[in-house]
Amino acid sequence: MINKQTDIEEIAKVFNQTPYKTIQDCARSGVVKNNPLEIAKFIKNTFSFKKRSIGEYFSVSNEFTKQVLIEYTHFFNFKNLRLDEALRIYYNAFELPHDANKISLIVEILSNEYYKQNPYHFQSSITVYFLCFHVVFLNTIFHNSCIAHKTSKNEFIQLCGNIDHRKDLDRVLLEELYDGVSKEKIIIEYEDGTNNIISFTNPQIAGFMVKQGGRIKTWKRRWFLLSYHCLYYFKKYKDKEPCGKIPLGSVDINIGKPRGKKHKYIVEIALLSDKNNTQKKKNFENKNENSIENNRTYIISADSEKAQMFWYRNLLNSQVGCQLEKLIQEKKDLFLQNLKRNKFEKKLN
């Protein structure tokens, strides 16, 4: 039971297991005042709180935790930093959730704070929001060995065209951003000593793993390629055509239980059934190996725990990226509609 006499390390142990409940208990017992500012300060200054657990706390969807996150973000000094430098600092403070709506909210809060501290380059925080995703996209392109074509400086500037309320951003600012990302990748460092490129837009990776068969439960080594929100697998490394594919738009991805001594490091990909999805029904009727079967769970075995976590995190990132692309486009369309409406109303007045 947490009370005012409880040692901070004991609180940290409990927080790292059940973060949301622990903060509630701390507030009830008077360890911390029950307001967003004090809780944000408590989380920021308790260094034994794990990044994963802090991320879990901020993933709880309610107005109070949102306000805590806003107050927490106020503690970061982004003044006169390039956006890529701000992203490196912020994305390493806690683990990002594997949920498109929650990532969008986190980026929106970060964008608001960055804009407040650096208002002179942008017309509003929404410009920073869109630019954040362009920077992450560039980070993915530049620091992924599976992607052959690296975006040029001019291509990046064109990609960012008209995002500042239908106006171009300062070219020097974009050139400095491009140089910063190309020279130093934006990564998240995990507590287990591993790290990963921030690439929730569209990670692309490849490598060998072992896959269990669908009807006949034998294990076969396959070359896997994760690209454009789809996991392809090939019989051989040099094959041009895949023998199967797993679209990641509507699946459940989990770490699985070991399947014997030879297959300890399991990743499971379960296709979510959708009775209204006629395309899936057509694919289900097709009996070749390329078909996508309703309700099937793909069992894949990695060579090590490190490889298992690498694939697991990138599969989740790819799934989230698919959802994020739609969400960002909807947000952009809505913003442009409002911008057009405001201009029209000004003309009327």
Amino acid, single-letter form, for residue 170: D
Predicted pLDDT at 41: 97
CATH fold label, 205-323: PH-domain like (2.30.29)
| The model's pTM | 0.76
Same fold, 83-198 and 205-323: no
Residue 5 pLDDT level (bands cut at 50, 70, 90): confident
Q: How far is CA 264 from the centre of its chain?
A: 26
Q: Which helix (H) or strand (E) holds 174?
A: helix 171-183
Q: Which helix (H) or strand (E) holds 243?
A: none
Q: Write down the domain spans for the chain.
A: 8-74, 83-198, 205-323
What is the spatial order of strands in the sheet that 265-271 belongs to? Answer: 244-247, 230-234, 219-227, 205-212, 297-302, 265-271, 251-256
pLDDT digit string, tens, across residues 137-156: 888 888 776 677 788 999 99
Predicted pLDDT at 102: 92
Task: Spell out the CATH class of 8-74.
Answer: mainly alpha
CA triple 101-102-104, angle to 5 deg: 65
Token match 């996209």: residue? Answer: 137
Predicted pLDDT at 348: 58
**Range in 2-6, 15-19, 125-129, 264-268 with the lowest mean pLDDT:** 2-6
User: 68, 106 in Cβ contact below 8 A?
Assistant: no
Please give the average per-residue pLDDT across 301-315, as a whole number. 92
CA triple 195-198-200, angle to 5 deg: 125
Q: Residues 83-198: name the CATH superfamily.
A: Arf Nucleotide-binding Site Opener,domain 2 (1.10.1000.11)
Residue 49 pLDDT level (bands cut at 50, 70, 90): very high
Across the chain, mean pLDDT equals 86
pLDDT digit string, tens, across residues 91-144: 899 988 888 889 999 999 999 999 999 999 999 999 999 999 999 888 888 877
